[in-house]
Structure 1
């Protein structure tokens, strides 16, 4: 490569790599992190809340699959809204989505501190945060294939450990004459729909992996086929796993009173359940799995955040020389990776609950606008040969996805709404400065991303 030609992202990822990166981003062990608080909020109906959020996610996953076939770009929701609705809208979607992408590495750093400090209380908590961020930053700089391979190993380990957890839980249920497998974890007389939806809004954090992999489209072989398939696999596998695990857990601890009798801390109930079903040896192994989960999710979340910044830098939304720089040897956006790691150091003073709600503000905003992007694309090209398939798949499905995400968005807590709206306001001010009071167009590159057609349009089926 000549010195005058900038380095670009390399196409190294196949479908299995994309699926495992998505599953790592979702973090299988996240099901254990949220079980206690959602069980309390839903009065013992965590599996039903997972089903509700799964339905919402499947509508949105369908829209992501459509959009990535049209625009196989690193920008994900930012690119889709920018190309189908308007450049300023795309900017604001990308800006708000940064809350999602930038805060998740912080959460993983915080969880590393929580898990490891419990095991090694004599070690300063800040050391675990810094140590995790140094490791994931180094792995992501070296190359996406290295990160993908590490994630595959860690996801398999988590899955095997979760299966052992489920088997031990089933054994404990069968050994207790007072317990039995019923439909109660899904629905009972004390189930309240609003609390189930509220629980679903919290659990949305577990499904962020399916959309994050769209940021890897420019590093994936045949992205128009590979990424949409990976999206559906990630959503389906994640849903089956989360519902199955929480069903056996909720059967073992069917109500808040039972949960409180087992766990000293409801927010961290899962390690206590691990102790109950497998003793101290299994609890130690369980905590090791939780640490691996934090590492794998941290790798995947930093990877996706750096690609979103790369897309915005390449378009001139952010400083192009810095944010669109790709290391000629590693083929990775090194500056972005280091920046995301540095920002995540805020975890040294961050509150876990606040960070989680802020992530969902960004996620629901991105989800809603991806659904709108599908409809906008259809409105622009419905009379051309660029679109195939039925109208319902282009309008009805994404419209339902939009309404579901809008409902989940308004159900967020007050802090998330306040900080999220302030962040959006800052984005509007920055865009006004960038466009000199909206007198200039929103910066964007001439469209030829990832080998797309000059018009950014291709023939797309269902």
Structure 2
């Protein structure tokens, strides 16, 4: 293995593209039925609520990635600013969402393909998709980025086509019968608790802005990471809000849908007919593949950093392929886990994802306070107090509110996952008698990259 390092090949827009690909903008249509039922018909309000929460946290990510320009995200920041053991537990919790998201993409592909080819066994689509995504990720991060960018552009064009068709349908009297209406944002039956619960469901759609920090060691210029984070949040949030608004205006309730677990195929059919449904499914397919490529790459790099730090077996998880310069073992492992998408439901898996994501978001905000306030003593001016104390407290509090509104299954499953991680940590450290391996961040930049 030697001094083989990850290859620096990603520019600003390549990283933003990976973030948007990870977020899968068309997911707004997949989860529309679930969120509309949960919020009583205010899907765009749920996205707006989640966006405001994400903005606070995105600012904190931008601060921390400048201090610690290493892959690892929340795991790295907590480990270095608070405690290595706590960092491991945060990283372990984050693994729950990172490692399950590739499975969600495989699951969505399964749903799409079964809807078009119901006579073909579902497992064939899962195995074929997972094998292709795994192979591309092992081969090259650059190739992954280029393919991802093409797919993201395609899906954004398709969302634009949906908005145009929705505009026409609303003008013709479908749904609310008007283009400009406040009902998708507020009506007499809106309840705060329901909106917050809906926001916890859609917040997993934003997972992607934080995942771009995983590419810190593959960015041509690591200084672009904060800009990439904010651009990913704003662009992704705008797409979710606008698409959610038009979908909710067209479908004030979900009584007309036959399948509410994934409403995208029916939305395409009702808005544009059979031909547009097929094109819309093609765009959604492209979006899901883009997300699969990006999410697969991100979790592989989190596992790589945890392996490099010695908290996971270094020989396997810290391995970088000498020719492809990718964490090949981790990529293949994530592919194997993704094969489990043959069985579960979208709603169940997405709820588990949110548990790990919200814990990671909370601790990134707390890491800002730990580093800048307690370590750097940056509290002597009003500006510093606002930037390094007030803003991250608001970020941590808002993610905490969403965390408290998670579904019971997600809370129970997530807590069990963290307990498993805690016992692994006890074993790894011999009941905290030894420290987890230290890692100097400058090592990654001292080594020559091709």
What residue number does 1:12 align with? 9
Query: Residue in 2 aligned with 1:80?
Result: 77
| Residue 369 (structure 1) aligned to one of 363, 367, 387 | 363
CA separation in 1, counterparts of 2:121 and 2:321? 34
TM-score, normalization: structure 2?
Answer: 0.96
User: Equivalences for 1:261-410 in 2 at 5 Å?
Assistant: 261=256, 263-383=257-377, 390-410=384-404
Q: How far does the alpha carbon of each residue in 1:237-283 deviate from its partner, in whole angstroms, 9 at most, with x for none?
A: 011111111111111112x2xx313x212223332222122111001
Any residues of structure 2 matched to 1:135-174 within 5 Å, and which? Answer: 135-174=132-171
Conserved? CA contact 2:356–2:414, under 8 Å: yes
Q: Equivalent of 1:237, from 226, 235, 238? A: 235
Contact 1:73/1:449, CA 8 A, preserved across alignment:
no
What is the number of residues matched between the two proteins? 444
8 Å contact kept, 2:309–2:436: no
- Give 1:62-101 correspondences, 5 Å limit: 62-101=59-98
By how many angstroms is 1:113 displaced? 0.7
Q: Is the 8 A contact 1:6 1:326 kept in 2?
A: no
Distance 1:449 1:161 in 2: 43
- Contact 1:25–1:300 at 8 Å: present in 2 too? yes
| Aligned: 1:59 with 2:56 | yes
TM-score, reference length from structure 1 = 0.93
> Equivalent residue of 1:267, what SS?
coil
Q: Distance in 1 between matches of 2:436 and 2:139?
A: 33
1:388 positional shift: 11
Structure 1: distance between partners of 2:438 and 2:130: 32
Distance across 2 between alignment mates of 1:5 and 1:196: 51
Deviation at 1:392, TM superposition (A): 0.6
Cα drift, residue 450 of structure 1: 3.2
Deviations 1:387-424 (A, max 9, x none): 99522111101100101111111111111111111111
For the residue of structure 2 that corresponds to 1:271, the secondary structure is helix
SS of the counterpart of 2:435? Answer: coil
- Contact 1:78–1:90 under 8 Å retained in 2: yes
Alignment partner of 1:40 is 2:34: no
Could you list the runs of 5+ residues in structure 2 that have no partner in the other structure? none
CA shift, 1:183, in A, is: 1.4
CA contact (8 A) 1:317 1:444 kept: no
Flag structure 1 segments of 5+ consecutive residues without an equivalent: 453-462
Contact 1:72-1:450 within 8 A present in 2 as well? no
Using the TM superposition, give the Cα deviation of residue 124 of structure 1 relative to its aligned residue in structure 2, in angstroms.
1.0
2:427 maps to 433
CA RMSD of aligned residues (A): 1.8
Cα deviation, residue 68, structure 1 = 0.1
- 2:200 maps to which residue? 201
CA shift at 1:201, angstroms? Answer: 0.4
Secondary structure of the corresponding residue to residue 74 of structure 1: coil
